[in-house]
Amino acid sequence: MRPLLREHGHELLTPSYTGLGERSHLAGKDVDLEAHIADLLAVIRYEDPKDPVLIGHSYGGMVATGVADRVPDCLSRLVYLDAFVPRDGQSLLDLLGAEDRARMLDAARVEGGGWRIPPNPMPQDTSEADLAWATPRRVMQPLETFRQPIRLTGAVERLPRTYVYCTRPGPGDVFRQFAQRARSERGWQYVEIDASHNPHITAPALLAAVLESVTTGRPMDNGP
């Protein structure tokens, strides 16, 4: 996504949460949602981006919501990309159906030593090349990041908010509830994208065009 967005004149920062990515060696039982919110608040403080758009994908919607509620005046827009959108007092586990919640907790118990969640399967339309690239980089995530309730003041609702819903179905399609919320509540921009859950991997050019349109207000260029 970096070169594609750079072509549109944007700089993309992709910080890793504590315990994930190049910071996976810092994973521990005490790493929770608040730790990840603190990670992003530190990036905003030290990178000092100008009029940044904060994008939360999947679980990242939990983190982005918490960050935006703390520093709404530091952001120009909040974009949820097929992401969770919690209300005050909700955890990610609260936003799952009973079957998905039980499956996740059982996986943590059986595969994750009781404190880590294995990554979900990649979407079926992911290419073999992308699977070969992404799979070794995917790690288990501390359970407390999914179990800790978020605390919100309501300040996040002052921000312009966009929900980008990936219309190709996935297991459980848990994100449909948030797409419906964005379509029914005031204060939202709603966009659909013909992609599965990881468009930054499976449809990067399309996602770049969507993000360019969302951030500038210009209609997408769909070509000839």
Quick check: 196 pLDDT over 70? yes
Tens of pLDDT, residue by residue over 25-53, are: 999 999 999 999 999 999 999 999 999 99
Quick check: 171 pLDDT over 70? no
On whether residue 207 sits in a domain, the answer given is: no
Average per-residue pLDDT in the chain? 94
CA 122 from chain center: how many Å? 15
Say which residue, 38 or 219, is predicted with more confidence. 38
pLDDT at 68: 98
On whether residue 192 sits in a domain, the answer given is: no
What's the number of domains the chain is made of?
1
On whether residue 181 sits in a domain, the answer given is: no
On whether residue 149 sits in a domain, the answer given is: yes
Please give the average per-residue pLDDT across 205-212, as a whole number. Answer: 96
Note if 24 is an active site residue: no
On whether residue 40 sits in a domain, the answer given is: yes
| Spatial contact of 111 and 171, defined as CB atoms under 8 Å apart | no
Tokens, residue 143: 């359970």
Would you call 152 helix, strand, or coil by DSSP?
coil
* 56: β partners: 80
16, 58, 76, 127: which one is catalytic? Answer: 58
**Which residues are CB-neighbours of 199 under 8 A, at least 6 positions away?**
81, 82, 166, 193, 206, 207
| Spatial contact of 20 and 141, defined as CB atoms under 8 Å apart | yes
pLDDT at 223: 45
On whether residue 67 sits in a domain, the answer given is: yes
On whether residue 165 sits in a domain, the answer given is: no
On whether residue 211 sits in a domain, the answer given is: no
Task: Record the pTM.
Answer: 0.94
Using pLDDT thresholds of 50, 70 and 90, give the confidence band for residue 172: low
Using pLDDT thresholds of 50, 70 and 90, give the confidence band for residue 169: confident
**Boundaries of domain holding 98:** 2-160
What does 97-148 look like in DSSP terms, one character per residue?
-HHHHHHHHHHHHHHSTTTEEPPPPPPTT--HHHHHHHGGG---EETHHHHS
Q: In CATH, what number is assigned to the domain containing residue 15?
A: 3.40.50.1820
Quick check: 206 pLDDT over 90? yes
